[in-house]
Amino acid sequence: MMSSTTLRKDRMPPDVSSLLEENGLAAGWTRSKKMPVAASEQKMSYTDRVEALRNAKRAQTFEKQLVRGSMDFDDHGIVLPPDGQYRVVHSMSGSGIEINDAILTTFIPSGNHPSGEFVGARACGENFRKLLEIHPVHIEPASSLAGAYMVNFMSYRKLTWNPDVDCSALLAEHERYHTIPVIGAVQHMCPDLAIGLRLGWGGLLEQVHRGALANPDAVDFYAGLVHVILGAQDWIRRHAETASRMVTEDSPLAENLAQIAEMNARLVTAAPRSFRDACQWILWYLLIARMYNGSGGLGKLDLLLQPFYDADSKAGSLTDEEATFHLACLLVRDTAYLQLGGPDQSGKDVTNRVSYLTLEAAHQLGIATNVGVAVGKDVDRNLLHRGVEILVEDRCGTPKFLGVDNTIAGFAANGFPVELARQRAYAGCHWSALPGREYACMDVVKFSFPAILDVSLREMMADGGVSPSVAELWDRFKLHLRSAIATAARGIDFHYEHMHQNFPELVIDLLCHGPLESGVDASHGGVEFYTFGVDGAGLATAADSLSAIEEQVERNRRLSWAELIKHLDSDWAGAEGEKARKLLLGSGRFGEGHSTGDEWAVRIATEFTLAVKEQPTPRGLMMIPGIFSWVLNIQLGKKLGATPNGRHAGERISHGANPDPGFRHDGAPTALAVAVAKVQCGYGNTSPMQMDIAPTYGDTAQNVAVLEALIRGHFELGGTQINMNVVNREQILEAHNDPSRFPDLVVRVTGFSAYFSSLSPELRQLVVDRLLCD
């Protein structure tokens, strides 16, 4: 808690000072809101309470599906606002795709731009604070933690970019190759939760004040930060007050509610003291970060919570059952990305008891979670074993598996010390970052390899001065690839220069090393490291296309170049078109094993890596390549015509680093693991392997053993991440036909997991088509 003697008011800029006046931490400032009460209040064991939370989650998910329709993204723990207080809008998510969203009608943002939009740190902070101040309270009495978020702040924005800074020409250049730009991207970096756990909201406010004093020119930035904190404190305080009012003598969860009230009254300003406090603090930050701009990175949760666990266990105030329960209450509220195990700075494995309890919490819940288990030569082998047991038993696509040895070595290959590389933490779909120190914008920039190939092919065919050939096509592809990368690099510099004027990080800034000290937003130079992740998408589509051209057009001369173009343009129309399509489909495929398709996939991945690492952006910012499409392979496919691998116009392009389905008629799991291991870029970004499998290798122990071997083998070959679904084949096919019959079916879609019934038919089809047949 801040005392006036710590401030030198005479040196404070006036408007920050007024905010401090407001921040008298007035007691009794309540907002009475009706909150949903979950489940029965019968006497409840922890098992009962987890069941109550799961039932509530199921109901909340169903409501969301009814109101928002398909949700082709992370499940998130967002709940619908109270009836009569929301309306549905079409907006852009924090991950850059268009979504249907429900927004509170009780909040109307104030614009500071003639367009009516709010831009820049002060306006974003002010509006976010107002949103937090009217945001309803959410307490489920069965939970040991309070809070849930109901809106995405970004859904109130009319424009994705500050109109005063024109980027239309740059965006048009990106569009030539269907490249998804970084301009306007948010979060996709990992906050350092250790800062918050050490300081609490009150301590953070003090840090902001100190920074404001040291950097008076950054008054708007600090004003924005102050607003965020004050809004957070108000929201938390209202939960404390509401919980206090909910305590009645005859409530069987009265003690729990009283604890929630007491704990949150403290956490308005104080740093957490206990394991439960820490879980609650982390949850508050996570909910606020999600609400602000979709950030969901937790990093090394087991390492963060270990001191609290050790202290409470030693004091006899925490049992493993209680700790697991608190973790479950955290995980049920949001599908944040977290890492368990892996080396610390010195190389020692950090796997501890909390690692296992987190797995157990996810296991008890059986919902969508994004728990990543580190796998490496020095990482506790039992952690992987337990993770695979849970994966096989629960069939929820959790956990996922992180090839830490390879991502650490890769990041170090950029020229960083290995001790630094070891500190990176898994915090998003397919990526890791240094907590609070690395602005990475991971999983944003996407290059469409098939679109680049199409531009190259058309250009070659239009050039009357050359004889078409595969060699000529490949040379042009390399040039256009570099052109696409150069455009994206200029986009990165533009984003770095101007994003803070649009929609600065603010919430993540609070848990970074640098922004509070320097007054500079993380997107604009406030942190130490800038490593923009750039991903290639549609690798298999491009590789199989080049293979088809090489085999059928050039080598076997079964199709001429002109005929190929004719059939592409007509989208394989007519009997001749269909014949040509089947001819090309029968060519060597990526994933088959030593086929022409495999050779091309390796060549493309290698060339892409080389091209990205050839030089930094014009400003000198680093880019690190990966191969990943998220769910954007559907969107990228919709805008692309037919491709020489036999794909129809508008169909999705290939997913991530995976071969296209049907790449092998048998032996697919190991062939897949070998193939994807060969297209790793290195440098600390990932090319995840997506494996969807219905294991029938024997009993459960045998299934676990086989999957463990697949995971270890893939990483031994160089793999960096594995997203795995263990499914019941008949069930997934039935669920695709009628998702409503399986409301609890959870799948790992790509890097994220979600309820199968929440996905659109197209995304469900993607999962079904990926299923490997033995």
Q: Helix or strand or coil: residue 480?
A: helix
Only one residue has tokens 């256009």, namely 480
What single letter denotes the amino acid at residue 281? W
Q: Work out how close the CB of 709 gets to other proteins at its nearest, in angstroms, rounded to a whole number.
A: 3
583 binds other proteins (CB under 8 A): yes
35 binds other proteins (CB under 8 A): no
774 binds other proteins (CB under 8 A): yes
Q: Work out how close the CB of 774 gets to other proteins at its nearest, in angstroms, rounded to a whole number.
A: 7
Radius of gyration of the chain (CA): 26
∠ CA 46-50-54, nearest 5°, is 170
Nearer to other proteins, 112 or 670 (CB): 670
* H or E element, residue 128: helix 120-134
Nearer to other proteins, 143 or 595 (CB): 595
Q: Helix or strand or coil: residue 171?
A: helix
Q: Is 5 exposed, middle or buried (0-12, 13-18, 19+ CB in 10 A)?
A: exposed
579 binds other proteins (CB under 8 A): yes
Q: Work out how close the CB of 563 gets to other proteins at its nearest, in angstroms, rounded to a whole number.
A: 13
Nearer to other proteins, 8 or 594 (CB): 594
Nearer to other proteins, 199 or 585 (CB): 585
Q: Taking a C-beta distance cutoff of 8 angstroms, is the pair 592, 598 a contact?
A: yes
Q: Work out how close the CB of 773 gets to other proteins at its nearest, in angstroms, rounded to a whole number.
A: 11
Nearer to other proteins, 255 or 578 (CB): 578
Identify which range of 201-209, 286-294, 582-590, 738-746 contacts other proteins by CB under 8 A: 582-590
Nearer to other proteins, 476 or 581 (CB): 581
Subset of residues 537 to 556 that bind other proteins, contact rule: CB under 8 A: 552, 556
Identify which range of 33-41, 127-135, 203-211, 589-597 contacts other proteins by CB under 8 A: 589-597
Question: Which tokens is 287 given?
Answer: 């909910």
558 binds other proteins (CB under 8 A): yes
- Is the dihedral angle over the CA atoms 86, 90, 91, 93 positive or is it negative? positive
Nearer to other proteins, 81 or 588 (CB): 588
Q: Taking a C-beta distance cutoff of 8 angstroms, is the pair 370, 752 a contact?
A: yes
Nearer to other proteins, 59 or 709 (CB): 709
Question: Which tokens is 726 given?
Answer: 């263990």
What is the rounded (10 degree) CA torsion for 468, 469, 474, 476?
A: -20
DSSP 83: T
Q: Work out how close the CB of 719 gets to other proteins at its nearest, in angstroms, rounded to a whole number.
A: 10
Question: Which tokens is 425 given?
Answer: 């933490």
User: Contacting other proteins (CB under 8 A), which of 586, 618, 662, 761?
Assistant: 586
> Site size for other proteins, by CB under 8 A?
35
Only one residue has tokens 């059928």, namely 552
Peptide bond into 109 cis (omega under 30): no
C-alpha span between 770 and 748 (Å, rounded): 12
* H or E element, residue 690: strand 689-693
Q: Taking a C-beta distance cutoff of 8 angstroms, is the pair 480, 456 a contact?
A: yes
Q: Which residues contact 143 (CB under 8 A, 6 or more apart)?
A: 49, 53, 329, 332, 333
Phi, psi (deg, nearest 5) at residue 105: -80, -15
User: Contacting other proteins (CB under 8 A), which of 593, 616, 641, 743?
Assistant: 593
Q: Work out how close the CB of 659 gets to other proteins at its nearest, in angstroms, rounded to a whole number.
A: 14
574 binds other proteins (CB under 8 A): no
Q: Please report how many Cα atoms fall inside a 13 Å half-sphere around the Cα of residue 100, on the Cβ side.
A: 16
Q: Work out how close the CB of 670 gets to other proteins at its nearest, in angstroms, rounded to a whole number.
A: 4
Q: Work out how close the CB of 555 gets to other proteins at its nearest, in angstroms, rounded to a whole number.
A: 11
Subset of residues 717 to 756 that bind other proteins, contact rule: CB under 8 A: 717
Q: Work out how close the CB of 356 gets to other proteins at its nearest, in angstroms, rounded to a whole number.
A: 22
Identify which range of 182-190, 218-226, 591-599, 759-767 contacts other proteins by CB under 8 A: 591-599
C-alpha span between 422 and 339 (Å, rounded): 12
561 binds other proteins (CB under 8 A): no
User: Contacting other proteins (CB under 8 A), which of 716, 734, 744, 762?
Assistant: 716
Subset of residues 656 to 715 that bind other proteins, contact rule: CB under 8 A: 666-671, 673-674, 697-698, 702, 705-706, 708-710, 712-713
Question: Which tokens is 88 given?
Answer: 């549905």
Only one residue has tokens 């709010």, namely 118
Identify which range of 371-379, 433-441, 581-589, 734-742 contacts other proteins by CB under 8 A: 581-589
Nearer to other proteins, 89 or 562 (CB): 562
- Is the dihedral angle over the CA atoms 356, 358, 360, 363 positive or is it negative? negative
Only one residue has tokens 């680049």, namely 452
Q: Work out how close the CB of 720 gets to other proteins at its nearest, in angstroms, rounded to a whole number.
A: 15
Report the interface residues with other proteins, using CB under 8 A: 552, 556, 558, 579, 582-583, 585-588, 592-595, 666-671, 673-674, 697-698, 702, 705-706, 708-710, 712-713, 716-717, 774
